[in-house]
Amino acid sequence: VTDSGTSPCELRCWVLARPSAPGLPAVEDFRLEEAPLRILEPGEVLVRTTYISLDPHIRGQFGGLPGPEAPRPLLEGRMPQLLVGGHIPGYAIGQVIDSRAPGLAPSDAVLGYWGWQTHVIARAEPAVGGAAARTGDLVLNAAQETVTRLDPAQARPPRAALHVLGEMGLTAYVALLEVGKPKPGETVLVSSAAGNVGGIAGQIARLAGCRVVGSVGSPEKAAYITEHLGFDAAVNYRGADVAGQLDRACPDGVDIYFDNVGGAFSDLAIARLREFARVVVCGAIAHWNGADDGRGPRVQRPLVLSRARIEGFDLYDWPDSYDAGLRQLGDWYRAGDLQVRETILDGFERVPEFYAEFLGGAYLGKVLVRVAAEADEAAEGTGG
């Protein structure tokens, strides 16, 4: 902090208290700590967190994953296991409250990867290379040590940078269009379709002229994707006769399976691939939250028979698509062609509890924890 006397003197921060056991993380796996804030160095800003993004991928850093999760060198490089006492990372947005950085002033909105903490002191530089990129007027920033300014004309409201106008929107856009390569009339099946990425991917498939089917975990979510997001049909993977539900929803089979979950549901989806289908492997939530029985993969015979293509996807391999993707997503979002349901939860003290509930399927759409209100929030209203 500067010595103006107007800034807080400490931050609160969630750290890992013990490695998580397999399954959903427990509240006892986390500990709330306080730490003093120091005087800002030149080039640094003090940011007050407004929203923390709840995202499945950080579950992999808490420990306790069953089976071989990934080739070890890749896993350790990209998603290292957190040490006990390590602070929980993740996407967040906030407001600058003190600045010694040119180009950033108090009340500017910024995006970063500082995670579950009330404030952060960070360098105000666009992060470059690796997991971060500047893309026109909008940004991705997955570096914990820097924050990047959000252009108020583009990221409106700023928290849209945590869903449709940021990494999650781009993931849906690039993975579906570049890897899935949808053609009008094809059947696209999306798993975790009432979630953030899945909901956006399904709507883009609809905009591409496809027939879109989503799998979800409750009748309420099934109604949400068919009545609000324009999906043609829904399958409740927690309901009875999932195979029969899939057969009825996809009577001619599946041309693109956009997989966010893995596990037993994906076995059923892959068994229904049409010839020359594509499987976009975007995530594996069922594996991460312990709902997977750990068997498999058993994809060889259906792949040979269908000559389908199965492809892992990582957004950071596609930087050349960011600019066009964010521009198109912004156009669709402002025109109302893309809907994003936000679930906004209040209470920094309850982030671990909210996170386990989120992973377990308790919430719809993009799930955010509000730590402090955005400056213009009263004027624009909130979802939830």
Ligand X SMILES: NC(=O)c1ccc[n+]([C@@H]2O[C@H](COP(=O)([O-])OP(=O)(O)OC[C@H]3O[C@@H](n4cnc5c(N)ncnc54)[C@H](OP(=O)(O)O)[C@@H]3O)[C@@H](O)[C@H]2O)c1
**Residues in touch with ligand X (CB under 6 A):** 55-57, 167-168, 171, 192, 194-198, 216-218, 221, 260-261, 263, 282-286, 289, 291, 313-315, 358-359, 361, 363
Output the CA angle 28-288-215, nearest 5 degrees.
120
Query: Cβ closer to ligand X: 30 or 224?
Result: 224
Phi, psi values for residue 234, rounded to 5°:
-135, 150
322-335 vs 196-207: helix crossing angle, rounded to 10? 80
In total, the chain counts a number of residues equal to 384
Which residue in the block uniquely carries the two structure tokens 């989806």? 269
Pairing mode of beta strands 109-112, 187-191: unpaired
The residue among 11 and 280 lying less far from ligand X, judged by its C-beta, is 280
Q: How far is the CB of 171 from ligand X (least distance, A)?
A: 4
CB-wise, 104 or 352, nearer to ligand X?
A: 352
By C-beta, is 158 or 290 nearer to ligand X?
290
Q: Tell me whether residue 187 or residue 192 sits nearer to ligand X (CB atom).
A: 192
Q: How far is the CB of 176 from ligand X (least distance, A)?
A: 12
Q: How far is the CB of 65 from ligand X (least distance, A)?
A: 13
Tokens of residue 317, six digits = 């391999």
Structure tokens at 277: 């289908």
> Which residue type does 99 have?
S
Q: Residue 114 CB, nearest distance to ligand X (Å)? A: 18
Q: Are 184 and 157 in contact (CB under 8 A)?
A: no
Q: Which long-range contacts (CB under 8 A, 24 or more apart) does 350-358 make?
A: 351/14, 351/30, 351/52, 351/116, 352/14, 352/25, 352/27, 352/29, 352/30, 353/27, 354/54, 355/25, 355/54, 356/24, 356/25, 356/26, 356/27, 358/54
> What single-letter DSSP state applies at residue 203?
H
Nearest CB to ligand X, comparing residues 132 and 194: 194
**From the CB of 162, what's the least distance to ligand X, in Å?**
10
Supply the minimum distance, in Å, between the C-beta of residue 15 and ligand X: 22
Closest distance to ligand X from the beta carbon of 66 (Å): 12
Give, as one character, the DSSP assignment of residue 243. Answer: H
Which one, 150 or 216, has the nearer CB to ligand X?
A: 216
Q: Please say which residue, 313 or 332, places its beta carbon nearer to ligand X.
A: 313
* Min CB(208)–ligand X separation in Å: 19
Token representation of residue 217: 């975990």
**Residue least distant from ligand X (Cβ):** 283
